[in-house]
Amino acid sequence: MSRLLFLGVVIAIVYWLLKSYRKQLPKEDTVSRQAEDIVPCVHCGVHLPKHESIQVDGKFYCSEAHRRIHAEKSE
């Protein structure tokens, strides 16, 4: 019975040490994880972050190829 109690105390100490260690770690940069606008590609409808899209005349494209294809259809 005393071994079981000793094991329980050791586990509690290890848990407490790990918990206090995690509190000391630097937090993730929340500024870089801000919500970003998601836009659909005019040609295929795939949604992607605004900064990764190609914007021409207020329309968003997922790739240069889709921009060209859509431009050719419009003409």
Domain boundaries, the chain: 2-27+35-74
Q: What average pLDDT does the segment 39-43 reach?
A: 93
Single out the residue of 61, 45, 65 nearest to residue 53, CA to CA. 61
Q: Report the predicted TM-score, pTM, of the whole model to 2 decimal places.
A: 0.53
Asked if residue 5 has pLDDT above 60, the reply is yes
Asked if residue 22 has pLDDT above 80, the reply is yes
CA angle (38, 44, 49) in 5-degree steps? 20
Residue 40: HSE in the Cβ half-sphere, 13 Å Cα cutoff: 4
Say how far residue 32 (Cα) sits from the centre of its chain.
10
Q: Would you state the pLDDT for residue 30?
A: 55
Distance CA 65, CA 32 (A): 30
